[in-house]
Amino acid sequence: MDIEINDDLRNSDTRRPRMNTPILEARDVSKSFFGVEVLHGVSMQLMPGSVHGLVGENGAGKSTLMKIFAGVYQRDGGSVLFDGAEVDFTHPIKAMHAGLATVFQEFNLLPERSVAENVFLGREPRKVGFVDNRGMSRATGALLAELGIDFIDPDALVASLSVAEQQIVEITKALSFDARVISMDEPTAALADHEVELLHAIIERLKARGVAILYVSHRLKEVFDLCDTVTVLKDGALVWSGATTELTPDSLVRMMVGRSISTFFPAAIEGTKVGETRLSVMGGGNGYVDAIDLTLRAGEIVGVAGLQGAGRTELAEAIFGAVPFTRGTTILDGEKVTIRSARRAVKSGIALITEDRKAQGLALRQSVLDNALLVIRGVFASRTAVVRREVPGILSSLEISFRGLNQEVQFLSGGNQQKVVLTKWLATKPRVVILDEPTRGIDVGAKVAVYSLMRELAKEGVAILMVSSELPEVIGMSDRILVMHDGRITAELEPGSSEETILSAATGTLTGPLEEVA
Amino acid sequence: MSIDASVRPKRRVRLDSTVIVYIALVVVVVVGAILVNTAGRNFFSTGNIRDILTGMSVLGLVAIGQTLVVLTGSLDLSVPYVISLSSLIAAETMRGNPNNIAQGVLFALAFAAVAGLANGLVVTKLKVNGFIATLGVGLIIKGYLDTNYKGSSGSVPTEFQYIGATGLGPVPISTIIMLALATLVFLFLRKTRMGHHIYAVGGSLEVSRLSGLRTARPVIVAHIICSVMAGLAGLLLASRLGVGSPTVGSQGGYDLLSIAAVVLGGTLLAGGRGSIWGTIGGVAIFAVLDSVMSAIQFNPFLKDVVRGVVIVAAVAIYTGRGLERRRARFSTKEVSR
């Protein structure tokens, strides 16, 4: 990365604060919802020009703290100091105008409007009373250039941008408020590795301008790569706050979950046998993937790695019939099948845990029970009554925490929502389970629960295909690793292959064994 | 290595939906002209062109206003009754006296603005869905019309009737007024903050709120403009009929027809995306279809069938394109190094 910091830019920043006093500080901040205290007197300091990692399991209070800073929630006790003065933002826009911007996980962008219109929404520059559209584009282009971005057209519709680019638009918007603090809520949750690099380069630039970054992340590697200081929260209380150099990955995980990293990826359960072929695809292809040859065996976990856009999700959707193969042959348990719809797939015993939990996995405003029974009611209606009795058992075996079967799933944490999705599919007793980014945006505890479940399913003879952008996950869980590039499977790697090997296959620079055959 | 190359997706240039509307319009005109010619008549005769443009003017006025309301994510079902009552207010105030023209116009538009304000306030302050809110306000006006009028009433002076009856060459004055207002509204959407915010609140109320917008204002303004445009349509109809009529709006079916024209013009019914010129294109398609079907003496019962097929097909095409674009976000190919 050739990130050069423009000296003019640095000097022109008149709002640049002193480097040795905190720009943002929480003192004994507490917050309750409906009588339940979710933050207990948390204190932390954020220094200008530094990146401060805010880590902890889901439900630890990271998002709540961030939203108190952002003015989305009002604190119940304690104080927040911004640039040395106590502040009390009653609306997010007030925090933005003060110079405290937040990039939420759910982007606050209008997909049908241009980049420039999004950046300046509500503050459109005017000339003699009329919106200066051209000036707005130019100003947006200049802000993007400050971030070192020359490939986003200020006039492009946000809907036409990739997730990573949309995130850059959010950061540009923050910059347009002359933000001195930018909080980012799991900014890399939806990014592929090369996009993460880009984001980190942007963060370096912001740092050099004296902007302080509050960085919420589940990825431990990032915390060590990027953060100067770290605050660990657990169950709403401060566990530790200090310099990253004082931490090791192991000590950090222990502080977050009270469990060591070595048990992070559970080993295969005693007695798991890789058996006969469950599902095989020969020469499968459609508009998104091509020349797919794939075999899934009973008791086997096959990982699929690749960059965003390599066609991994499309492969999962093709096998599941959501966007069916238009070419090739699929054989399921020795029988040739044609899976042209999701309904057909479900009837054949295939399950797909989708990447986007909220949009594709759950009916958010319906209850836990309704969601758990969604597939059963839709496809195997006659079994509803029986499965209805099994649901509580499945839920409790996944250690889901919820208020009751009638609670709406929108109020559950990400990890618990994912467990509801898993329950929904387990209820169908699938023979082939496809998981697309199964641990995206869920806490470490829930991740381990998902991994353990995969091992258990494998023991029972289920064939598992796991699509993931998290390389440690792919390496830690897979019996075989498929790497996709440009809609094709370009390499098949041994378990325990290094991240470097997988990455070079994913970027198309490594010739895998499959390509030699082809 | 520069940081840009790795994430730059290839982008395909796509036809804007407004462009598609005008391509469709050209197709309709060509096919229509051929059909009319085989029936032994000239589609491009001055008289026929004037008829088509006249047919566009009233629906055009209503649809311009409707576009704004739909862009904010609301709807206006009260337009037919606002049209009728405006025509009555104008005709009864003028009572055939040219000196009362200004007063009549003013009263009619003032009433329309109040109706729009009521719609906007019910939608934004009472948080009633636009469909129901405007249906309710519309029914209230309808109730007033039904109890107070048994037939047409009042009369407009000859001078006022000229507006509906004269033109520049084949172009009626009413169409010129409609197109001038379309241009004004186009500029309003493009060049004012309020215009930008109409798109914003329709795109996402939550995003707009978090960006510090006063989210009620654009919706209220859109509803007022929509009703005032309906009021203008009522004035135009009064000028054509010479009297005010309690049924002129509902007979024209301007509520659903204007929404249909807006959607045909590529505006998203959910709000946040669309354009005035798309709407005008949609209105033109309807006007040309009507003219062609009358000229070839098409079965009048099938007219609405054709309209229905056109509108459903249009939305199906837009939806298909929309889905494709959504998907493209996830399948953009990386530029490999």
Q: What is the pLDDT of residues B181-232, one digit of tens each?
A: 999 999 999 999 999 999 999 999 989 998 889 999 999 999 999 999 999 9
Cα dihedral B205, B207, B210, B216 in deg (nearest 10): -20
Domain residue spans of chain A: 7-110+179-259, 356-429
Phi, psi at A277, each rounded to 5°: -70, 130
Contact residues on chain B for A96, CB-CB shorter than 8 A: 212
**Residue A220, Cα to own-chain centre: how many angstroms?**
13
A124 and B196 in contact by Cβ < 8 A?
yes
What is the token pair recorded at A354?
């989708």
- A144 residue type, one letter: L
pLDDT at B335: 30
Distance from CA of A153 to the nearest CA of B (A): 11
CA distance A318 to A507: 22
Asked if A1 lies within 8 A of B1 by C-beta distance, the reply is: yes
Tell me which chain B residues have a C-beta less than 8 angstroms from the C-beta of A161. 329
Residue range(s) defining the domain that contains residue B244:
57-252+268-277
Please state, in angstroms and rounded to a whole number, the distance separating the CA atoms of residues B79 and B134: 9
CA–CA distance, A261 with A249 (Å, rounded to integer): 8
Partners of A336 in beta bridges: A331
Residue with the bigger pLDDT between A400 and A301: it is A301
Is pLDDT at A57 greater than 80 in this prediction? no
Residue with tokens 């042209």: A340
Position A227 pLDDT exceeds 90:
yes
Name the residue among A91, A159, A313 with its Cβ closest to that of B330. A313
Asked, for residue B211, whether it belongs to a domain, the answer is yes
Residue with the two structure tokens 């991740």: A447
Helix (H) or strand (E) holding A378: helix A374-379
Q: How does pLDDT run across A93-132, given as a tens digit for each residue? A: 999 999 999 998 778 899 999 999 999 999 999 999 899 9
Q: Give the pLDDT of residue A18.
A: 52
Kindly indicate the confidence band of residue B330, based on its pLDDT and cuts at 50, 70 and 90: very low
More confident residue, B319 or B114: B114
| Subunit contact A198:B7, Cβ cutoff 8 A | yes
* pLDDT range class, residue A511, cuts 50, 70, 90: very low
CB contact under 8 A, A131 and B192: yes
Q: Would strands A488-493 and A432-436 be described as parallel, antiparallel, or unpaired? A: unpaired
pLDDT of B82 above 90: yes
Tokens of A17: 């604060």
**Please, are residues B7 and A196 in contact by the beta-carbon 8 Å criterion?**
no
Percent of chain A with pLDDT over 70: 92
Q: Please list every residue in chain B whose beta carbon sits closer than 8 Å to the beta carbon of residue A98.
A: none
Is pLDDT of A288 > 80? Answer: yes
Residue B93 domain flag = yes
Chain mean position to CA B137: 19
In tens, the pLDDT along B144-155 reads: 999 999 999 999
Compute the average pLDDT of residues A293-299: 94
Residue from B63, B76, B64, B54 nearest B239 by CA: B54
- Is residue B201, in this structure, part of any structural domain at all? yes
In one-letter notation, the amino acid at residue B156 is V
Decide if pLDDT at B286 tops 80: yes
Name the closest residue on chain A to residue B215, using Cα atoms.
A122
**Across the beta sheet with A24-33, what order do the strands follow?**
A36-46, A24-33, A77-82, A85-87
Distance from CA of A384 to the nearest CA of B (A): 33
Q: What is the dihedral of CA B109, B114, B115, B121, to 10 degrees?
A: 150
* Average pLDDT along chain A: 86
Q: What is the pLDDT of residues B291-302, one digit of tens each?
A: 999 888 888 888
DSSP for residue A262? G
Task: In whole angstroms, give the CA distance from residue B151 to residue B170.
Answer: 33
Nearest Cα neighbor of B159 from B273, B238, B231, B262 is B238
Q: Indicate the number of domains in chain B.
A: 1
Q: Where are the alpha helices (DSSP H) in A25-132?
A: 62-70, 92-98, 115-119
Rounded Cα gap, residues B238 and B242, in angstroms: 5
Q: Residue B8: what pLDDT?
A: 43
CA-nearest residue of chain A to B195?
Answer: A131
Question: For residue A166, which residues of chain B lie inside 8 Å, CB to CB?
Answer: none
pLDDT at B318: 80
Is B28 among the domain residues?
A: no
Which of B193, B331, B334 is facing A124, going by the closest CB pair? B193
One-letter amino acid identity for B207? V
pLDDT of residue A369: 92
Task: Identify the three-state secondary structure at position A88.
Answer: coil
Give the Cβ contact number of residue A178 at 10 Å: 15
pLDDT at A509: 56
Average pLDDT value for residue range A130-159: 94
Mean pLDDT of B30-52: 91
| For residue A336, pLDDT beyond 60 | yes
Residue A59: its pLDDT value, please?
Answer: 64
Q: How confident is the model at residue A513 (pLDDT cuts 50, 70, 90)?
A: very low
Q: What is the CATH number of domain A7-110+179-259?
A: 3.40.50.300
- Range with the lowest mean pLDDT among A28-42, A109-123, A142-156, A198-212? A28-42
Q: Nearest 5°: CA angle at A113, between A171 and A354? A: 70
Residue A399 has pLDDT above 80, yes or no: yes
Interchain pair A201, B3: CB under 8 A: yes
Residue A480 to residue B54: CA distance in whole angstroms: 71
Annotate A450-509 with DSSP letters as a single string. Answer: HHHHHHHHHHTT-EEEEE-S-HHHHHHH-SEEEEEETTEEEEEE-TT--HHHHHHHHTT-
Distance, in Å, from the CA atom of A431 to the CA atom of B147, rounded to the nearest integer, reads 69
Chain B residues within an 8 Å CB radius of A105 = none
In this model, does residue A212 exceed pLDDT 60? Answer: yes
Give the Å distances, CA to CA, from A94 to A102, A174, A265, B39, B211. Answer: 12, 13, 44, 67, 10
Q: How far apart are CA A426 and CA A398, in angstroms?
A: 11
Q: Taking residues B255-262, what's their average pLDDT?
A: 94
Residue A339 clears pLDDT 80, i.e. is over it: yes
pLDDT-derived band at A500, boundaries 50, 70, 90: confident
Mutate to test the interface with B, among A104, A107, A112 (most CBs of B within 10 A): A112
Residue of A nearest to B14 (CA): A160
What are residue A42's phi and psi, to 5 degrees? -85, 135
Q: Which of B243, B235, B285 is nearest to B260 (CA)?
A: B285
pLDDT at B284: 96
Exposure b/e, A400-414, CB count within 10 A at least 16 = b: bebeebeebbeebbb
SS (H, E, C) chain B: CCCCHHHCCCCCCCCCHHHHHHHHHHHHHHHHHHHHHHCCCCCCCHHHHHHHHHHHHHHHHHHHHHHHHHHCCCCCCCHHHHHHHHHHHHHHHHCCCHHHHHHHHHHHHHHHHHHHHHHHHHHHCCCCCHHHHHHHHHHHHHHHHHHHCCCCECCCCHHHHHHHHCEECCEEHHHHHHHHHHHHHHHHHHHCHHHHHHHHHHHCHHHHHHCCCCCHHHHHHHHHHHHHHHHHHHHHHHHHHCCECCCHHHHHCHHHHHHHHHHHCCCCCCCCCCCHHHHHHHHHHHHHHHHHHHHCCCCHHHHHHHHHHHHHHHHHHHHHHHHHHHHHHHHCCCCCC
Q: Tell me which of A16-20, A145-149, B178-182 is least confident.
A: A16-20
Alpha-carbon separation of residue B81 from A29, A496, B212, B248 (angstroms): 57, 73, 36, 9
Q: Does residue A58 surpass a pLDDT of 70? A: no
Q: Which residues of B touch A309 (CB under 8 A)?
A: 9, 330-334
State residue A19's pLDDT score.
Answer: 58
CB contact (8 A) between residue B9 and residue A162:
yes
Task: Measure CA A249 to chain center.
Answer: 20
Most confident option among A266-275, A490-499, B68-77: B68-77
Q: What is the ipTM of this complex?
A: 0.84
Chain B residues with CB under 8 Å of A311 CB are 331
Does residue A409 contact residue A417 with C-beta atoms inside 8 Å? yes
In a domain, B117, yes or no: yes
Mean pLDDT, chain B, as a whole number?
A: 89
